[in-house]
Amino acid sequence: MARSEKARKKPKKSIIVCVCGLAGSGKSTLAKKLAEKYKLKYCSGGNALKDLAMQEGYESLNRGWWERKEGMRFLEERSEDSKFDKAVDKKLLELARKGDVVLDSWTMPWLLKKGFKIWLEGSPKKRAERIAKRDGISVKEALKALRIKEKQTKAIYEKLYGFSLGEDFAPFHLILDTENLAAEEVFQVLCAVIDNMLIASSAQKSEVIFGAL
């Protein structure tokens, strides 16, 4: 068999991308756009948790739900019972094993041993401004909700898995400071990185850091 024919028959390497970042960093929007561009499946840990919340009788699962009363109440329930987070993480790990997926998750970068892992960084003030604009609330309200949510969420994952969300960056291949970047600029930067690192050089693992933390 000719070498060119063998190359054509070589199976395509599966792509797994994990996008992570605190609320308001733009991770969900970015993860969806990456999945669309590279024709990958999009899976959200937050959406999976919302589905479980709905099954438990929670209402109004609209945009910005996590920062509102119902979302905060469900966060309290998760703090007391880890079954919700364990169920979601089990599901995401199963999907990751199938490959060709973009995972929008706060836990997968630590729990998944493979894949390209991205952290989106942004100051609390900037992230609160984005959430305030998205949800039609004041920046003060958004910042207060973020602080409560992040404190409790960090406690959940530290107790469950032993990592510190927003402080432990060891699993990440790329850390991108989005503070002064528009959503499209963030997208274009990551597309360039993914094209180079996952497609052109998929067999090699590299570490790239953009911006200062």
pLDDT at 9: 47
The answer to the question of residue 70 being in a domain is: yes
pLDDT at 59: 82
Tally of domains in the chain: 1
Domain that holds residue 48: 29-202
Q: Is the pLDDT of residue 98 over 90?
A: yes
The answer to the question of residue 194 being in a domain is: yes
pLDDT band at residue 198 under the 50/70/90 scheme = low
Q: Quote the tokens at residue 178.
A: 């989005």
The answer to the question of residue 41 being in a domain is: yes
pLDDT at 11: 47
The answer to the question of residue 104 being in a domain is: yes
CATH number at 174 reads: 3.40.50.300
pLDDT band at residue 120 under the 50/70/90 scheme = very high
The answer to the question of residue 211 being in a domain is: no
| CA proximity to 50, closest of 40, 33, 62, 36 | 62
The whole model's pTM is what?
A: 0.85
pLDDT digits (tens, 9 = 90+) for 4-62: 444 444 446 688 999 999 999 999 999 999 999 999 999 999 999 999 999 999 986 67
23 forms bridges with which residues in the sheet? none
pLDDT at 1: 47
The answer to the question of residue 42 being in a domain is: yes
pLDDT at 137: 87
pLDDT at 194: 87
Mean pLDDT, rounded, of the chain: 86
pLDDT band at residue 107 under the 50/70/90 scheme = very high
Q: Is the pLDDT of residue 175 over 70?
A: yes
Q: Is the pLDDT of residue 203 over 50?
A: no
The answer to the question of residue 149 being in a domain is: yes
The answer to the question of residue 83 being in a domain is: yes
Sheet holding 116-121, edge to edge: 41-44, 101-104, 16-20, 116-121, 174-177, 208-210
